């Protein structure tokens, strides 16, 4: 690789320091570097600008930056590698301690490309379809104040119907995100499955369920009382995209689109999890 795009979601002193280090190192070693510091905030609707000659996107930030870029370059199969300037950085192969070593690997083509599955949502009230690398979350419009009644079907067969604060449908990549915070299982990013985790269910016997990646999950918003007019937010990788009202539903399934991640470290997934958990 010789042609790179650097993307940062914010421009703090720390980010600026490492953006400059990366840019200067690539240029000093015969590569080309373009900066994009404007199109990747949390609520960005605009696509990251990727020229045809770009071979790799380097994100500077944390897992959120990687996820946001992955959402915004869906139609481009340009691989992404993240420099972790945040806290956990499960998705980031580069750290502030090994920047130059990782850049050497990229410049000398010493890496692998890891293809990650994404989820897609199809709402009954909207023709638009959105995708997520981490998760699709169905949650109350007034989170923590209004409980939802959700009916969940898998491949047309009812799984359950109960009151809860919401529901997380996660990819293996996203198992270490909101799913983990909601006591869902940690899953290897190379597994082939969909993780269904309820958020604060009002029942004693509700647990996360691991589904096949070929399964289709249908979630319908029900009313707890006849006079209720519940609303649910549909959030893709932390960004609100759609709203469902009583009786409306969303189908969630594996997307035909995938994200491409650069793998630099020869580190076992469980070793990385253990190391990151010790840093908390």
* Active-site annotation, residues: 63
Q: Tell me the backbone φ, ψ of residue 257, rounded to 5 degrees.
A: -90, 145
Are 209 and 159 contacting, i.e. CB atoms less than 8 angstroms apart? yes
Q: How far apart (Å, rounded) are the C-alpha atoms in residues 192 and 119?
A: 12
Partner residues linked to 131 by β-bridges:
120
- 9-27: string of b/e by CB count within 10 Å (b at 16+)? beeeeebeebbebbbebbe
Are 62 and 35 contacting, i.e. CB atoms less than 8 angstroms apart? no
Partner residues linked to 199 by β-bridges:
166
Question: Two tokens at 63?
Answer: 């897992």
Give Cα 76 to chain centroid, integer Å: 17
Q: How far apart (Å, rounded) are the C-alpha atoms in residues 160 and 277?
A: 33
- Residues in Cβ contact with 248 at an 8 Å cutoff, skipping those fewer than 6 apart: 123, 124, 125, 220, 221
Kindly write down the DSSP assignment for every residue of 44-63, as one continuous string: --SPP---TT--EEEEEE-H
């Amino acid at each position: 690789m010789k042609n790179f795009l650097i993307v940062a979601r914010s421009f703090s002193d720390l980010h600026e320091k490492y953006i400059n280090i990366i840019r200067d190192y690539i240029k000093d070693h015969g590569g080309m570097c373009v900066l994009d510091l404007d199109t990747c905030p949390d609520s960005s609707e605009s696509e990251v600008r990727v020229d045809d000659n770009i071979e790799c996107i380097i994100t500077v930030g944390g897992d959120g930056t990687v996820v946001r870029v992955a959402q915004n370059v869906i139609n481009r199969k340009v691989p992404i590698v993240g420099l972790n300037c945040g806290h956990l950085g499960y998705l980031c192969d580069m750290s502030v301690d090994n920047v130059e070593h990782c850049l050497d690997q990229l410049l000398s083509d010493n890496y692998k490309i890891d293809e990650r599955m994404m989820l897609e949502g199809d709402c009954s009230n909207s023709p638009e379809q959105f995708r997520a690398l981490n998760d699709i979350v169905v949650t109350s419009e007034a989170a923590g104040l209004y409980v939802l009644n959700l009916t969940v079907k898998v491949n047309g067969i009812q799984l359950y119907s109960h009151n809860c604060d919401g529901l997380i449908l996660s990819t293996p990549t996203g198992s270490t995100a909101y799913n983990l915070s909601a006591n869902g299982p940690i899953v290897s990013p190379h597994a082939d499955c969909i993780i269904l985790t309820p958020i604060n269910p009002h029942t004693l016997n509700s647990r996360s369920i691991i589904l096949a990646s070929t399964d289709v999950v249908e979630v319908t918003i029900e009313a707890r009382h006849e006079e209720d007019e519940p609303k649910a937010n549909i959030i893709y990788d932390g960004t609100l995209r759609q709203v469902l009202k009583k009786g409306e539903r969303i189908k969630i399934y594996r997307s035909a689109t995938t994200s491409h991640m650069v793998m630099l470290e020869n580190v076992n997934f469980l070793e990385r999890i253990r190391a990151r958990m010790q840093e908390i």
